Amino acid sequence: MPRFQAPRGTRDLLPQERSAFLRLEGLARELATRYGFQPIETPLFEQAAVYERGVGEITDVVEKELFRVQAGRGEDERERWALRPEPTAGIVRAYIQHGMRTWSQPVRLTLSGPMFRYDRPQAGRYRQFWQFDVEAIGDAGPAIDAEIIELALEFFSAAGLRDVQLLLNSIGDQACRPAYIEALRAHFGAHAAALPELEQARLETNPLRLLDSKDERMAPLIATAPVMTDHLCAACRVHFEALLAHLDALAIEARLSPRLVRGLDYYTRTAFEFYRLGAEGQQQALGGGGRYDGLVEVLGGQPTPGIGFGIGLDRVVLALAEQDGAPSAEPWKPVVVVVGADPEDTVIRLRVASQLRSAGLDCWPDVSTRRLGKQLEGAAKAGAHFAVICGDELEAGIVQLKDLEAGTQRQVAASDLARELLRAQAQHRHGEEG
Ligand code: HAM
């Protein structure tokens, strides 16, 4: 057992897995751009108050899972930091700080990167995980709500994940939610003594959170709890019905899920989650999001509506591997390794490799002073398709080109080498995609 290991709940993404993430991040960037979302990057940590106020003090994310950062003496409120458990609060903080309300609305922003939650580690639940996030701030919907949901579904489809189901709900607003919360309090209050300790406290402080309790003992009580959609005010009902009509127009199927409330306090009206078909009950959403019409104000800005989603890339990678029975990306392999007949002459290998790279080839030189046979073994072990062998013939403008996959070797004019290899590289890449 090595002395030092990655912290519990985190893992190293080795090249093959990292490649799978990079592929998804690339798709996310392309798709977000096509929908008009601009990239933003916010710090990996913020003042803890951004999350305490934004996400809510009485949520699992803040109460149990926040990674607080201790630096200096921590006495100054401005130096009480936390690693970001999610990107929305930080992006909204940036929207306010940079006066984005004067920009064309809604401001469409996207970010992909790591998030941190001190969660109980298990497959698909990590302490550092990656999200693809989009936010549209400054439009009250419902058209943008449908557009955002369409974007999320397009992402799953581009990633190659089939059978992703959309669960949808409306969780009301400041006007109608208080009466609903009272109805919840009455329902759970009737069983107060049977509630687990944390849930008993939440019955007083934040009854809505009882609906997303991860404690299995809560399941029967949640299943019989009153639902928000029976308590919506007229404005929220109109919004929800209009959203359903927009989704219908886009041929997007939604499964209404009246007990879906999401685990963060900032949501209003539209709330949604994505699951693989048949995995809805497993608390392992592939992604989720919703409207947060009060969040900008909570963080000190002018009242401004907003909506967004976060997709868990770790879970998408896992789901793809499960669906396809194989990793979702091939490890990177060099197309060409340049080897040399003279073990000592590393200069010639560097020079040839440099020329081939300038011509657009993926290539590296063997930089060792081992014998040619060992160099070729190394190239094969690295998975290279070709080895270019530089020997004395190079003075006469000739090299040997060895196809390591086919086990064949032929002589090539150095002046034709790049062209020949580029043709082979194109076929090689094409073969990988097929
Ligand atoms: P969330 O539902 O807390 O929402 O997280 C979004 C997604 O991140 C989840 O559906 C899941 O796929 C992934 N995720 C969450 N926790 C973990 C974990 N411990 N390990 C692996 N994956 C995880 C948000 O974060 C909101 N900011 C989404 C949003 C954006 N709402 C509006 N705009």
Question: Tens digit of pLDDT for each residue in 330-376?
Answer: 777 888 999 999 999 999 999 999 999 999 999 999 999 999 999 99
Q: What confidence tier does 74 reach under pLDDT thresholds 50, 70, 90?
A: low
Among 21, 166, 315, name the best residue to mutate to test ligand 1's pocket (greatest count of ligand atoms within 8 A of Cβ): 315
The two three-digit tokens of residue 87, written as one number: 């990107």
Q: What is the pTM of this model?
A: 0.92
Q: Please work out whether the CB of residue 88 comes within 6 Å of at least one atom of ligand 1.
A: yes
Q: Does the pLDDT at position 430 exceed 90?
A: no
Q: Give the pLDDT of residue 128.
A: 98
Strand order in 336-340's β-sheet?
Answer: 363-365, 336-340, 386-390, 398-403, 408-413
Report percent pLDDT > 90 for the chain. 77
Mean of pLDDT values over 18-43: 96
Q: What confidence tier does 138 reach under pLDDT thresholds 50, 70, 90?
A: very high
Helical axes 197-205 vs 177-189, angle rounded to 10°: 150
- Contact call for residues 388 and 356 (beta carbons, < 8 A): yes
Q: Please work out whether the CB of residue 285 comes within 6 Å of at least one atom of ligand 1.
A: yes
Whether the ω angle into residue 220 lies within 30 degrees of 0, i.e. cis, is no
What's the Cα-to-Cα distance from 98 to each of 92, 101, 103, 425, 429, rounded to whole Å? 10, 9, 10, 46, 43
Cβ-based burial of 78 (10 A; exposed 0-12, middle 13-18, buried ≥19): exposed
Strands (E), 67-149: 68-69, 81-83, 107-116, 128-137
pLDDT tens digit sequence for 97-121: 999 999 999 999 999 999 999 989 9
Q: Please work out whether the CB of residue 286 comes within 6 Å of at least one atom of ligand 1.
A: yes
| Rounded-to-integer distance, Cα 310 and Cα 329, Å | 22
- Contact call for residues 168 and 255 (beta carbons, < 8 A): yes
What's the Cα-to-Cα distance from 275 to each of 6, 122, 152, rounded to whole Å? 29, 18, 12
The two three-digit tokens of residue 168, written as one number: 């949808």
Helical axes 15-34 vs 313-324, angle rounded to 10°: 110
Handedness of CA 22, 23, 24, 26 (dihedral sign): positive
| Rounded-to-integer distance, Cα 372 and Cα 387, Å | 11
Q: Please work out whether the CB of residue 112 comes within 6 Å of at least one atom of ligand 1.
A: no
Mean of pLDDT values over 301-325: 95
What is the CA(85)–ligand 1 centre distance, in A?
9
- Contact call for residues 168 and 248 (beta carbons, < 8 A): no
Which residues, 6 or more positions from 48, have their beta carbon under 8 angstroms from its beta carbon? 66, 68, 80, 81, 82
Q: Please work out whether the CB of residue 328 comes within 6 Å of at least one atom of ligand 1.
A: no
Which residues, 6 or more positions from 147, have their beta carbon under 8 angstroms from its beta carbon? 35, 136
Q: Which of 66-70, 269-273, 387-391 bottoms out in mean pLDDT, i.e. has the lowest?
A: 66-70
Task: Kindly report the number of other CB atoms within 10 A of residue 325's CB atom.
Answer: 6
Q: Please work out whether the CB of residue 110 comes within 6 Å of at least one atom of ligand 1.
A: no
Mean of pLDDT values over 45-62: 92
Ligand 1 closest atom vs CA 119: 19
Q: Please work out whether the CB of residue 308 comes within 6 Å of at least one atom of ligand 1.
A: yes
What is the CA(360)–ligand 1 centre distance, in A?
39
What is the CA(313)–ligand 1 centre distance, in A?
10
Q: Please work out whether the CB of residue 306 comes within 6 Å of at least one atom of ligand 1.
A: no
* Higher-scoring residue by pLDDT: 70, 2: 2
Give the DSSP letter string of 189-218. Answer: HTTGGGS-HHHHHHHHH-GGGGGG---GGG
Closest listed residue to residue 107, CA positions, set 54, 55, 36: 36
Q: Are strands 268-276 and 336-340 parallel, antiparallel or unpaired?
A: unpaired
Q: Does the pLDDT at position 223 exceed 80?
A: yes
Residue position matching structure tokens 């048949």: 278
